[in-house]
Amino acid sequence: MGARILVVDDDESIRELLRLHLSSAGYEVQVAEDAIAAGYLVLKGPPDLIITDVNMPHMDGFEFVAALRADAALPKIPVIFLTSLEDGDARGRELGAAGYVTKPVRADRLLSLVAQHVPGGAIPIG
């Protein structure tokens, strides 16, 4: 298997779509429905990359990544934000975002961006 990727989104259909695209490209994929479940998975074993939705209940994607960055015991994990927000770019840049993917997600864009930051997947389609 390739690199481990954690997908965080409160929308089950988006989680499953991303899981399908990423696992088909050779990545090992974990999914979480919110930042709390995702934080638990990260603490169990940090993934090679995180793809997180920005708009989620309890804690948004930016708050989630800020909390990860505040934990000095964790490695700096590349993060790709899923967003439809106009202001996402500025907030994500402050957190060192590896990139953005807008919804609806295009598989070729997603896989190309992921391949820039982690090894182990197939050559992106497109």
Q: In what order do the strands lie in the sheet with 4-8?
A: 28-32, 4-8, 49-53, 79-83, 99-102
Q: Which of 59-68, 79-88, 103-112 has the lowest mean pLDDT?
A: 79-88
Our measurement of the distance from residue 33's CA atom to the centroid of its chain's CA atoms, rounded to an integer in Å, reads 12
> What number is the average pLDDT over the span 24-51?
96
Per-residue pLDDT, 61: 94
Element (DSSP H or E) covering residue 7? strand 4-8
Percentage, residues of the chain above pLDDT 70: 90
Domains and CATH numbers, the chain: 4-105 (3.40.50.2300)
